[in-house]
Amino acid sequence: VGFMKAKSHFVMDIDDCMLQSDAAMVCADALRAFLRTSGVKGITQLMVRTAFGTGEVMAVLEADKKEIPQMEKLVEMLDDAVYSLSCDEEGDPETDTPAYSLESVALIHKGKCHIIAGKPTINEEIITEDDRSLTFEVSPQSFYQVNPEQMERLYDKAAEYAELKGGETVLDLYCGAGTIGLWLLEELRKKDPEAFEKTRVIGIESVKPAVLDANRNSVINGFINTRYICGKAEEE
């Protein structure tokens, strides 16, 4: 948990990182404390997903063994750490930040994912200034943009360049959880419902859990003009 020292495999310990969410930093602190006090070895990576719209947090551990000793203790420490960020049950009204809650802890071993505690997915809600609204479910092995504010700018720029008029087939390659294709459809649905009904999205992704996420997200947001394929974009 830290930065790799230049030209080495040595991990430099860090106390804070301005690029990470608060939830990621407190989870890193909790894992660091757990490793120091428990003597447990074999955990090789920690990934933290933070849903900024809902406050839901997912901690994904990668390990070189399927069973990690004292896992219940680690889950408790992670949960306490995330809970400590919440100012109260309603979140912070001044910054419109929801209260954080650890909703899922997963362990990945040899490419297979095991849910240790909580739910298999977390929910994220994106509401734009022009009242577009999308909800996404994201699982541990699925790709999702980590910076929602920049994600909106990035996807809006893609929509600007695409200049969808209606009737097109949008290819969402390496689609992850399906976010960018659904974003384009939502913008078109808001701007021109008739053109939206004539447009479809085909997403291709090689990670099966991500394809399942994309299909669920399409249904959650009320889209029927989508199709998601599990395979390599270069071959499909």
How confident is the model over 34-85, as pLDDT tens digits?
A: 999 999 999 999 999 999 999 999 999 999 998 999 999 999 999 999 999 9
Q: Distance between CA 215 and CA 196 in Å, rounded?
A: 18
CA angle 178, 21, 57 (to 5 degrees): 60
- pLDDT over 50 (residue 88): no
190-194 long-range contacts (CB < 8 A, ≥24 apart) are: 190/130, 190/131, 190/132, 192/166, 194/166
- pLDDT over 90 (residue 107): yes
**Would you give the end-to-end CA distance of the chain in angstroms?**
38
- pLDDT over 90 (residue 89): no
- pLDDT over 90 (residue 183): yes
pTM above 0.85, yes or no: yes
Q: Which of 152, 123, 205, 213 is nearest to 177 (CA)?
A: 213
- Between β-strands 200-205 and 226-230, what pairing exists: parallel, antiparallel or unpaired? parallel
Helix (H) or strand (E) holding 45: strand 43-50
